[in-house]
Structure 1
Amino acid sequence: MTLTPVLSARWGDPEPWTLDSYRAAGGYEGLRRALAMTPGEVIDTVKASGLRGRGGAGFPTGLKWSFIPQLVPGEDPKPGADKPHYLVVNADESEPGTCKDMPLMFATPHTLVEGAIIAAYAIRARHAFIYIRGEVLGVQRRLRAAVAEAYAAGYLGAPLGGTGDGAGFTLELTVHGGAGAYICGEETALLDSLEGRRGQPRLRPPFPAVAGLYASPTCVNNVESISSVPAILSRGVEWFRSMGSEKSPGFTLYSLSGHVARPGQYEAPLGVTLREILDLAGGVRPGHRLKFWTPGGSSTPMLTADHLDVPLDYEGVGAAGSMLGTKALQIFDETTCVVRAVLRWTEFYAHESCGKCTPCREGTYWLVRLLRRLERGEGDAGDLDVLADVADGVLGKAFCALGDGAASPIQSSLKYFRDEYVRHVTDGGCPFDPTASMRFAPVPATGGGAR
């Protein structure tokens, strides 16, 4: 297997973040070709490429763009067609283990800027927003500088042309620093935060494509999804589909972290296996063996060494009982306590719960209590059944996907490593670390993520 550097091809160049460097490598060629098409033709091109959203769910990007209602001469206007349209780029990367969007924006921010202009042209939006995590100040400054360069060069804030119903296209692009809440990675909570309200998921329908930002048609896309668009426009659909699998075409960034010899970003065609990526990364750290891993960050069901040859595309990982998600491949060797790893993740989700719905607010609180009991050596055999029951009460019942993300690692770890949970009961604590029971703070007396 060989890597296919496209988004990461220039990360090692001198100052790849500057406009001059980006244009010298063919930057903004995709935009030039997009403006020679009508907005509908751009959407059809992205549809034909088969590009799927790189933010987690893998929804077809072009199809998502086509949901934005348009005024079509001779047809009855669809709801929201007469309102302003908005593009929102979700750059609030904060999933434990996920680390692809930040280096992408830091190294080559103009890739995202160009992609945002193309996407806005396609959905006929005149204002776009990049909602970026507030803590990553270095990335934020780099991105804002790129936006300022784009304005100075006339790519933003000035008429760019366009054809058909896209003639006279102009775009304003705003970089908005988020308030540091994981829940704002959920697209409707992000929109509430962008409007200045507390970030909490919205009830759907109406979906953002009909009533999103400021109750207007809005398309929300991930950073990598938008950044992949310029290459598709400049190099063509056939080139893009020559990589990956039939239903999951193209290239993507796999974030490899944990107990590996060479962690980092590995850009490869969709459908590669973890075994192939580990071979390129020097394997699991010397003297150790793979125990379990996550294919898409901590919110996806974990897999084991038996799944080394599962194709890392949406269909392959789904058939194995997990989700490709953000392609955050966290690798854990035999020295890792599964219960402790799951506890750390669950503590994160309990802390980040917005508190809006009961299953997530109360469920994550009780999951943490149960896991801490087991890790301290205070649990009994019945706790395992209660743990599974509470996780089942959260999975699929919460207002948004945060609840699923909290329950999935628990259910999958009980499936593959129940004997390790049992040892926490029979051995009177964690068999990997006899001092583990001394490391936990008291659990608050009341539950709830909004406490």
Structure 2
Amino acid sequence: MNRINSYEELQNLFQDYSKKLKMRTPSREEELEAENKRCKRHITVCGGTGCQSSDSPKIIENLRKEIEKAGLSDEVVVSVTGCFGFCEKGPIVHINPDNTFYIQVTPDDAQELVSEHLLNGRSVQRLLYEEPSVKGKVKRQDEMSFYKKQHRIALRNCGFINPEDITEYIGVKGYLALAQAIIQMTPDEVIKVMIESGLRGRGGGGFPTGKKWASAKSYEADQKYIICNADEGDPGAFMDRSILEGDPNSVLEAMAIAGYSIGASKGFIYIRAEYPLAVNRIKIALKQAKELGLLGDNILGTDFSFDIELKYGAGAFVCGEETALIHSIEGKRGEPTNKPPFPAESGLWGKPTSVNNVETFANIPAIIINGAKWYSSIGTAGSKGTKVFALAGKINNVGLVEVPMGTTLREIIYDIGGGIKNGRKFKAVQTGGPSGGCITAENLDLSIDYESLTAIGSMMGSGGMIVMDEDNCMVDIAKFYLQFTVEESCGKCTPCRVGTKRLLEILTKITDGEGTEQDLATLKSLGQIIKDTSLCGLGQTAPNPVLSTMKYFWDEYVAHVRDHRCPAGVCKKLIRFEITDKCIGCTKCARSCPVSCISGNVKGIHFIHQDKCIKCGACYSSCPVNAISKI
């Protein structure tokens, strides 16, 4: 392909490339029937990390072979795409224009999909999604409850275009926002649009993006930088990874727009090396964008030049903090520094620098194309637009969810998430990962935005949302997150380095049945001290899971300390397995025990030797008549 030298050339390419995407645009059944002929079809197969690990490349290979065998090569196109978001049900195969959505497809299903769906026009029923609440098969993606309440802006192209083909990105108006910005707008006008849109940083802090850019622009320097923070480290979070895997060009385009607005000519994407697929697709996107002249010198024939370089992180959670990230790019130890000065004044190599995360950047081209008023009309008064959440845990529909700010937790968990697995009772949801806090059933109708979450002791964070049911121990959950932050602390400041270890030691005492009421008081006071005195956001938010679970689940902490009992039956040293008189003497429990601590005769009631029991629960799980109680 030749270099694109003008706005007009780019617009012409958009017109050309958008035509080839039309056959993958969903149509209604009556529209298909009205054509009165076999319509051309486009099959997109999920190519995200999760689906690739379940053989989606082989599915594509087998589909192409079967299509060729059936003589349909001129009528059916098969291509890879990014994550559809419905991760629990992958690999996903989506057939358009009839909008048929197949789940949990295997390579062996390719032959049936071609013979039944493509040749005979019959849906393969066993591969269709079944709604948990209605117990009925759903054929079309837009009729599935998982998607009905979503509003995809950051994820708009994921599951639609091929992320490894820049022409498809151009076909969905890709790089037109950059062209509009650098040719038709001044840097100040771009920043004004961002301020008026109300977009706030999606990495956790929620600082207004336009104001951050304005600050970086206000400082004079011979060199300025744009950094994309792709160091996604929260347990259970995979929003940024999926965007980079499914729509990398949207981030590159947004970085160039940001560079134009603040006067930067260089950008860096700081990404953890554990994201090999995202890294590969960014490299492909960078190569193609540079070949077309959409990055590099004199973009679209203007005097604006902007280039982007990849930098790899080694998986340190603290490097998600912007000053620690900057030090890591500079080749130094990834430790935070006091602010001010903020990076906008003195960042990378002492130069004005603007740091935004992946999801923030993914919104920007859509805002430039559609306008600030369009974006600000979505969401709440203080939190505009949409937010992507990684919905995981004890939930039926695990996956990526993008909803307007102000959507309630109940809608996300029950309407989109399909409710709690196995009909269990909802207990809590952790938002914001190790930096956030637990939200209980009494707040299920809470509108999700920055202010409302902060008001109840949690936070938006980058978007992790872990759902818990009645079988989760909240003391153990708090300990899990503390273990993570202790391991990830950079050790620079004493409150975080030492304080979080002390918190973890106390929580371990409590879950071991050795806690005291004084320990409960110490947890509260020490947690508050760490929040108030730590250097960076990691330490300042580390006590949140402890303090929020103590606030909402105080009775569980008391049960562990006063009664030496774990109500959820999770903390091993506080549970006891006993065989009741329901025992039929089948010996399954004895045969499953790894330490041979169960004795008894065939057809006789068995007995557990408590001094040998390691509380693994193997006997409890294997008993066919529920004769073993967990106390």
Q: Common fold, TM-score beyond 0.5? A: yes
Deviation at 1:330, TM superposition (A): 1.3
- In the other structure, the counterpart of 2:460 is 324
Aligned residues: 427
Q: Secondary structure at the match of 1:81?
A: coil
Letter in 1 for 2:551: K
- In the other structure, the counterpart of 1:442 is none
Q: What's the % identity of the aligned pairs?
A: 40
Deviation at 1:391, TM superposition (A): 1.1
Deviation at 1:299, TM superposition (A): 1.1
Structure-2 change in CA distance of 1:366 and 1:321 (3 Å): closer
Cα contact 2:434–2:482 (8 A) shared by 1: no
Letter in 2 for 1:193: S
- In the other structure, the counterpart of 1:155 is 294
Separation in structure 1 between the aligned mates of residue 505 and residue 431 of structure 2, nearest angstrom: 27
Letter in 2 for 1:365: K
Query: Among 96, 102, 105, which residue is 2:241 paired with?
Result: 102
Separation in structure 2 between the aligned mates of residue 90 and residue 287 of structure 1, nearest angstrom: 38
Letter in 1 for 2:369: S
Letter in 1 for 2:422: P
Deviation at 1:373, TM superposition (A): 0.9
Q: Deviations over 1:197-225 (max 9, x none)?
A: 00000122211111100001001111111
Q: Deviations over 1:80-139 (max 9, x none)?
A: 513311011111000123221110111111111111111111111000001011211121
Query: Among 430, 439, 442, which residue is 1:303 paired with?
Result: 439
Cα contact 1:86–1:213 (8 A) shared by 2: yes
Deviation at 1:15, TM superposition (A): 2.1
User: Relative contact order: is structure 1 or structure 2 higher (C-alpha 8 Å, sep ≥ 6)?
Assistant: 1
Deviation at 1:69, TM superposition (A): 4.2
- Normalised by the length of structure 2, the TM-score is 0.66
- In the other structure, the counterpart of 1:272 is 407
| Matching of residues 207-286 of structure 1 within 5 Å | 207-278=342-413, 279-286=415-422
- In the other structure, the counterpart of 1:28 is 175
Separation in structure 2 between the aligned mates of residue 181 and residue 145 of structure 1, nearest angstrom: 26
Deviation at 1:13, TM superposition (A): 2.5
Cα contact 1:54–1:222 (8 A) shared by 2: yes
| Matching of residues 411-422 of structure 1 within 5 Å | 411-422=547-558
- In the other structure, the counterpart of 1:134 is 273
Q: Secondary structure at the match of 2:356?
A: strand
- Whether 2:475 is the aligned partner of 1:339: answer yes
- In the other structure, the counterpart of 1:2 is 149
Separation in structure 2 between the aligned mates of residue 160 and residue 178 of structure 1, nearest angstrom: 29
| Matching of residues 360-379 of structure 1 within 5 Å | 360-379=496-515
Query: Among 261, 264, 283, which residue is 1:125 paired with?
Result: 264
Query: Among 376, 394, 401, which residue is 2:530 paired with?
Result: 394
Q: Deviations over 1:306-356 (max 9, x none)?
A: 111111111222333322222322111110000111101000000111110
Separation in structure 2 between the aligned mates of residue 327 and residue 42 of structure 1, nearest angstrom: 27
Structure-2 change in CA distance of 1:26 and 1:170 (3 Å): same
Q: Which ranges in structure 2 are unaligned for 5 or more consecutive residues? A: 1-147, 574-613, 616-631
User: Is the deviation greater in 246-255 or in 125-134?
Assistant: 246-255
Q: Deviations over 1:263-288 (max 9, x none)?
A: 11111111101111121221111321
Separation in structure 2 between the aligned mates of residue 434 and residue 21 of structure 1, nearest angstrom: 50
Deviation at 1:435, TM superposition (A): 6.4
Structure-2 change in CA distance of 1:309 and 1:435 (3 Å): closer
Letter in 1 for 2:205: A
Larger Rg: 2
Cα contact 1:55–1:325 (8 A) shared by 2: yes
Cα contact 2:470–2:568 (8 A) shared by 1: no
Letter in 1 for 2:303: G
Separation in structure 2 between the aligned mates of residue 294 and residue 434 of structure 1, nearest angstrom: 18
- In the other structure, the counterpart of 1:63 is 211
Letter in 1 for 2:562: T
Q: Deviations over 1:9-52 (max 9, x none)?
A: 33223523421211111111111111121111111111111111
Q: Secondary structure at the match of 2:168?
A: helix
- Whether 2:573 is the aligned partner of 1:426: answer no
- Normalised by the length of structure 1, the TM-score is 0.91
Separation in structure 1 between the aligned mates of residue 485 and residue 154 of structure 2, nearest angstrom: 30
Separation in structure 1 between the aligned mates of residue 201 and residue 191 of structure 2, nearest angstrom: 14
Cα contact 2:296–2:305 (8 A) shared by 1: yes
Separation in structure 2 between the aligned mates of residue 63 and residue 109 of structure 1, nearest angstrom: 25
User: Is the deviation greater in 424-433 or in 223-232?
Assistant: 424-433
Cα contact 1:49–1:240 (8 A) shared by 2: yes
- Whether 2:584 is the aligned partner of 1:436: answer no
Structure-2 change in CA distance of 1:435 and 1:260 (3 Å): closer
Letter in 2 for 1:229: I
Cα contact 1:374–1:429 (8 A) shared by 2: no
Cα contact 1:396–1:403 (8 A) shared by 2: no
Structure-2 change in CA distance of 1:434 and 1:191 (3 Å): closer
- In the other structure, the counterpart of 1:75 is none
Separation in structure 1 between the aligned mates of residue 450 and residue 154 of structure 2, nearest angstrom: 20
- In the other structure, the counterpart of 2:332 is 197
Query: Among 41, 53, 72, which residue is 2:189 paired with?
Result: 41
- In the other structure, the counterpart of 2:162 is 15
Letter in 2 for 1:13: F
- In the other structure, the counterpart of 1:445 is none
Q: Deviations over 1:394-426 (max 9, x none)?
A: 112101111122111111111111110111123
Separation in structure 2 between the aligned mates of residue 185 and residue 114 of structure 1, nearest angstrom: 22
- In the other structure, the counterpart of 2:254 is 115
| Matching of residues 53-92 of structure 1 within 5 Å | 53-70=201-218, 80-92=219-231
Separation in structure 1 between the aligned mates of residue 300 and residue 275 of structure 2, nearest angstrom: 35
User: Is the deviation greater in 252-261 or in 9-18?
Assistant: 9-18
Q: Deviations over 1:131-181 (max 9, x none)?
A: 01121112111111111111111111120258xxxx611011001111211
Separation in structure 2 between the aligned mates of residue 205 and residue 435 of structure 1, nearest angstrom: 44
User: Is the deviation greater in 330-339 or in 7-16?
Assistant: 7-16
Separation in structure 2 between the aligned mates of residue 375 and residue 235 of structure 1, nearest angstrom: 53
User: Is the deviation greater in 309-318 or in 346-355?
Assistant: 309-318
Letter in 2 for 1:322: S
Q: Secondary structure at the match of 1:8?
A: coil
Separation in structure 2 between the aligned mates of residue 319 and residue 387 of structure 1, nearest angstrom: 21
Separation in structure 1 between the aligned mates of residue 321 and residue 229 of structure 2, nearest angstrom: 9
Cα contact 1:97–1:298 (8 A) shared by 2: no
Cα contact 1:115–1:230 (8 A) shared by 2: yes
